[in-house]
Chain A
Amino acid sequence: MTKHKAVGLTDDEVLAMYRLVLAARRVDERMWILNRAGKIPFVVSCQGQEVAQVAASFALEKGSDYTAPYYRDVGVVLAMGMTIKELMLQAYAKASDPNSGGRQMPGHFGCKRLKMLSGSSPVTTQIPHAVGIGLALKMNKEKAVSFVSLGEGSSNQGDFHEGLNFASVHKLPAIVFVENNQYAISVGLDKQVACKQISDRAIGYGMHGETIDGNDPFAVYKAVKDARTRAIEGEGPSLIEALTYRLTPHSSDDNDMTYRTKEEVDAAKARDGFITFREYLVEQNILTESVESDMEQAIKEEINQATIEAEEEPYASAETLFDAVYQ
């Protein structure tokens, strides 16, 4: 059996999954161009983590599950239903941006329509929020989960501990998804944690923990799918760690060559899940040349259109400064 069928994914589903990975990568690449052209103020990138993000989101139920993503999660938010135009609106910080109306930094994703709760710039605050949503789901007896994602750097914050502990004490339907991209801005993993893997921390909370290859979409999909099943069945939360690598600097304002080498980054690029996923689909004859070129073309057109439209939208006016401070 093929790898994707072994985890219950059809050919069409893996193709849809790859399309989201491709869209996330292409949107991110466009963001960098727009930033360097002086059009948008800031980029905080998803590159290298798209496969993990999309595969994890694919295991969720769109429309019923809640997400509390972190700032690199372009793949998550696209997979949960945010449009490329909406991503562009938040990158440009335009008034019609559904994330925050241009109030927050780019990458602070939130959208009521998509059951997606916005985080704030200090990292890890989203975990207790997602745990609160998990408690609400349990109290309301809803068959849904609260999915929260973060970088491995966030696993050192107090809110990680406070949130996971509470979630496990009350066996809440929550999935804590750590995208371990090896760096907290400039600080490498060996100066971040002393444990072998972030998922080891699950033991201390009495919850399920596992580490998987974040470049392997099927391993990620299966781990999150199983976590969702456990959560729905009342078995409590899971801590899933997906091993990835951040291929870009931390942000458009960072120079990563001050703390890591080009050789290290190049080696990671060769293992990039975006490439290996594509190779798998080509080998399986799911991604044919014509399917791929149509896909690339359609995504490019959508990004072009979204960029133009977002650029034409007005910024929020200063008169709105007093709006939504209080009811």
Chain B
Amino acid sequence: MAQMTMIQAITDALRCELRDDENVLIFGEDVGKNGGVFRATEGLQDEFGEDRVFDTPLAESGIGGLAIGLATQGFRPVPEIQFFGFVYEVMDSISGQMARMRYRSGNSENAPITIRSPFGGGVHTPEMHADSLEGLMAQQPGLKVVIPSNPYDAKGLLISSIRDNDPVIYLEHMKLYRSFRDEVPEDSYEVELGKAKITREGTDVTLIAYGAMVQASVKAAEELEKDGISAEVVDLRTIAPFDVETVVESVKKTGRAVVVQEAQRVAGIASQIVAEIQERAILHLEAPVLRVTAPDTVYAFTQAEEVWLPNHKDIVAKVNDVINY
């Protein structure tokens, strides 16, 4: 097995799907000749040709609409939105249209589209380049939202997303692109959508996270262990629809939970998870379920980024609150 960074695993997944399904198309701004601003599509145009991997004009709404038209003709478009902050330009195509193709056509059309996009903070990109907007996507019925936290999952989840018959928003945390390597099989494989993973087993408290916050949670769990606190870490992997059973089972076992998200606090994924836990497992809880989130401000300027972003220390502090409740 090869050692791959997350971005290598993503490129590898795209290569597998371009090779295995002639209907898969990759397009977007700078994805062809340049191989993407983060090099996620590097070499793919040379390998598969300009019909399969192509550059579009600078026009996000057009990219989304084009994907819909192609999808109705049997293609599996995998467009890239260069930074997820630019999604506002293509919101109508995503939430207003591709998410509703199946519903509004009385099940006669569908939109097997996977939108890939880099997002997330911690790499000194300012607002619109770092925003965590997965909550906006999760509010739209018809969409699935996938966020990998490591190279192995990144490859399997992307392959599953492309093969899925509904539109998937596949978000790639920029800080994870090259921060570590994993064993990643060279063959094609799927990681099932909608299934969370217990990244680390524990008995005293459940940490629920996704994306870059999984690493922060694991780091927090390691520190907590030194104090004799055993933390279980659940990696959601799919944000919408999320694996409520795995979350609830873990919380029933530990009796305490802290939900971690990098996004701002209001109306976020974490709020939804807290609500589901209290509806389904309140009699198992020893303490209120707490959240670790970014504050409700516009994404921080670079000099304040480390203050603004949630980190493992914030998680340790919240865990101590629920343990000492």
* Contact of B105 with A by CB under 8 A: yes
Complex partner residue of A327 from B66, B75, B96, B102, CB under 8 angstroms: B102
* Contact of B179 with A by CB under 8 A: no
Cβ < 8 Å to A, chain B residues 54-107: 56-57, 59, 61-62, 64-75, 92-93, 96-97, 100, 102-107
User: Of all chain A residues, which has the CB nearest B112?
Assistant: A327
Complex partner residue of B107 from A118, A137, A158, A323, CB under 8 angstroms: A323
Q: Which residues of A contact B144 (CB under 8 A)?
A: 326
User: Of all chain A residues, which has the CB nearest B241?
Assistant: A326
Q: Which residues of A contact B321 (CB under 8 A)?
A: none
* Contact of A112 with B by CB under 8 A: yes
Q: Tell me the minimal C-beta distance from A155 to chain B in angstroms.
A: 15
* Contact of B51 with A by CB under 8 A: yes
Q: Could you tell me the distance between the alpha carbons of A97 and B92 in the complex, rounded to whole angstroms? A: 25
Q: Are B107 and A166 in contact (CB under 8 A)?
A: no
Listed stretches A23-31, A122-130, A249-257, A275-283; interface member: A122-130
From B56, B96, B104, B142, residue with most partner A Cβ within 10 Å: B104
Q: Which residues of B contact A97 (CB under 8 A)?
A: 106
Residues of B participating in the A interface, judged by any CB pair closer than 8 Å: 51, 56-57, 59, 61-62, 64-75, 92-93, 96-97, 100, 102-110, 141-142, 144, 165-166
A sample of 12 inter-chain contacts (CB < 8 A) reads A103-B103, A103-B104, A103-B106, A108-B104, A110-B104, A112-B109, A122-B96, A130-B69, A134-B69, A136-B69, A139-B51, A146-B69
User: Of all chain A residues, which has the CB nearest B27?
Assistant: A135
User: Of all chain B residues, which has the CB nearest A102?
Assistant: B106
Q: Are B106 and A129 in contact (CB under 8 A)?
A: no
Q: Tell me the minimal C-beta distance from B270 to chain A in angstroms.
A: 23
Q: Which residues of A contact B64 (CB under 8 A)?
A: 128
* Contact of A313 with B by CB under 8 A: no
Residues of A participating in the B interface, judged by any CB pair closer than 8 Å: 97-101, 103-104, 108, 110-112, 117-118, 120, 122, 125, 127-137, 139-140, 146, 158-159, 161-163, 165-166, 169, 323-327
Q: Are B66 and A165 in contact (CB under 8 A)?
A: no
Q: Tell me the minimal C-beta distance from B23 to chain A in angstroms.
A: 10
Leading 6 A-B pairs by shortest Cβ distance = A132-B69, A128-B65, A162-B62, A101-B106, A136-B73, A162-B59
Q: Are A104 and B104 in contact (CB under 8 A)?
A: yes
Q: Could you tell me the distance between the alpha carbons of A111 and B68 in the complex, rounded to whole angstroms? A: 15
Asked, given contacts A103-B104, A132-B70, whether A166 binds B62 with beta carbons under 8 Å apart, the answer is: yes
Q: Tell me the minimal C-beta distance from A189 to chain B in angstroms.
A: 25
Q: Tell me the minimal C-beta distance from A89 to chain B in angstroms.
A: 11
Complex partner residue of B68 from A112, A122, A128, A162, CB under 8 angstroms: A128
Q: Are A132 and B165 in contact (CB under 8 A)?
A: no
Complex partner residue of B65 from A98, A100, A159, A324, CB under 8 angstroms: A159
Q: Could you tell me the distance between the alpha carbons of A132 and B72 in the complex, rounded to whole angstroms? A: 9
Q: Are A159 and B69 in contact (CB under 8 A)?
A: no
Q: Which residues of B contact A129 (CB under 8 A)?
A: 65-66, 68-69, 72, 97
